[in-house]
Amino acid sequence: MNPKKIAGEKAVHYVEDGMTVGLGTGSTVYFSIIKLGELVKEGLDIKGVPTSIQTEKLAIDLGIPLVSMSSVDYLDLTIDGADEANHDFELIKGGGGALLREKMVASISEKFIVVIDETKYVTQLGKFPLPVEIVPFSWETTINTIKKLGCTPKIRMNQDASPFVTDNQNYIADCYFEMIDNPAELNQQLNMISGVVENGLFINMADSIVLGKENGEVTIIS
Ligand SMILES: O=C(CO)[C@H](O)[C@H](O)COP(=O)(O)O
């Protein structure tokens, strides 16, 4: 059993007719979006707000009707993956580079459902390098400032050795902390640095975590 598939599909039970739904990005929420595509074909009436160009393309291929975030005041629900989640429902996101739009969409969602496999449910955040979206202008200056917060930042690169560029035309600095003692404080400190657009810490945003397990079970933590 694929724990990502189990979690992704389970989360779709939260979706009801008439909802506007934030569609996250990544290989776990992929299974939610596939399932939603099937349900839409069977008559489910929803509108999706995609969090990346990749998700937008997938949703269009599946026939899920989409609206832009700017055309809605709020979303009923967002389903998205995460790279780590702790027991206080604090998250690291951005492994796929979509953290800015993901955070914007989650911030106006009534409910934010996180879909992960059990390996990502941790007691302390930080083993996964924290993605921070920064502007390309003088990125060296920005990562030098970020470094002072006690991490080793590395600009994310593509396989061809060019910098990875986000959907918003920015760079990602993957910041190696090993352990993050105070995620809420770090979230604020990072976002106060000039040149930082947004960081991958999601604090006080998640409502439920849907945890897929290797043995085929799924646990919902709310
Ligand atoms: O934040 C994200 C993309 O920016 C993803 O939700 C996160 O990286 C988890 O992805 P996956 O489900 O593929 O492990």
Task: In whole angstroms, give the CA distance from residue 201 to residue 209.
Answer: 16
Averages of pLDDT over runs of 10 residues in the chain (222 residues) are 94 97 98 98 97 98 97 97 98 97 98 97 97 98 97 97 97 96 97 98 98 94 94
3-state helix, strand, coil in the chain (%, to 5): 30, 25, 45
98 & 207 share domain:
yes
89 & 137 share domain:
no
105 & 135 share domain:
no
Ramachandran bin of 39, using left for φ above 0, alpha for ψ from -120 to 50, beta for the remaining angles: alpha
**27 has binding-site annotation:** yes
**Sign of the CA dihedral running 133, 89, 120, 2:** negative
Quick one: which atom of ligand 1 is closest to the CA of 81?
Answer: 6
pLDDT, residue 94, reads 97
pLDDT, residue 1, reads 82
pLDDT, residue 44, reads 97
35 & 88 share domain:
yes
pLDDT, residue 178, reads 85
Average pLDDT value for the chain: 97
The residue contributing the CA closest to ligand 1 atom 8 is 95
56 & 71 share domain:
yes
pLDDT, residue 179, reads 94
167 with 116: CB under 8 angstroms?
A: no
* Size of the chain in residues: 222
Which entry of 102, 140, 185, 198 is annotated as an active-site residue? 102
Whether the ipTM is more than 0.95: the answer is: yes
146 & 214 share domain:
no
The ligand 1 site (C-beta within 6 Å) comprises: 24-28, 80-83, 93-99, 102
Quick one: which atom of ligand 1 is closest to the CA of 200?
Answer: 1
207 & 169 share domain:
no
Q: What value, to the nearest 5°, has the Cα angle with vertex 11 and ends 185 and 181? A: 15
Dihedral angle computed from the Cα positions of residues 24, 178, 151 and 81, in that order, rounded to the nearest 10 degrees: 0
Token pair for 20: 């506007």
Nearest to 23 by CA among 107, 106, 85, 94: 106
208 & 158 share domain:
no
pLDDT, residue 96, reads 95
Domain count, the chain: 2
56 & 146 share domain:
no
Domain containing residue 34: CATH number: 3.40.50.1360
**Sign of the CA dihedral running 107, 48, 93, 119:** positive
Q: Give me the domain span that covers residue 174.
A: 130-200
Tell me whether residue 102 is one of the annotated catalytic residues: yes
65 & 100 share domain:
yes
Condensed to tens digits (0 to 9), the pLDDT of residues 74-125 reads 999 999 999 999 999 999 999 999 999 999 999 999 999 999 999 999 999 9
49 & 11 share domain:
yes
28 & 109 share domain:
yes
